[in-house]
Amino acid sequence: MQDTDELNDAGYEIPIGCYVFMRCFFSADIMLFDTNKGSRCILDGDVGYPSNEWKFLNCDFNTFFARLVTCNGVMFWRW
């Protein structure tokens, strides 16, 4: 919630019910949970654009994280 509060305080329009769970280094990209949505709840945000232009990922939370930690077909910690 700290990142969400910081971005709101800085003037960014984080939608109500959305919470930042990941900030990308060296870019303006953020990933948010939208508690108002069902299984497709991950919002790809870019603080350089208005929040109404941000897009939802076409996957659920589990699929998102499985893809995030996979490298050449296996979980990265097995390399």
Contact 40, 53 (CB under 8 A): no
Average pLDDT over residues 51-65: 87
For the segment 6-49, what is each residue's pLDDT rounded down to a tens digit?
888 988 888 889 999 988 888 888 999 999 887 788 889 888 88
DSSP 27-50: SSEEEEEETTSSS--EEEEETTS-
Given a cut of 80, whether residue 79 has pLDDT beyond it is no
Structure tokens at 52: 């109404």
The predicted structure's pLDDT at residue 20? 92
Between 51 and 79, residue with greater pLDDT: 51
Structure tokens at 59: 């996957």
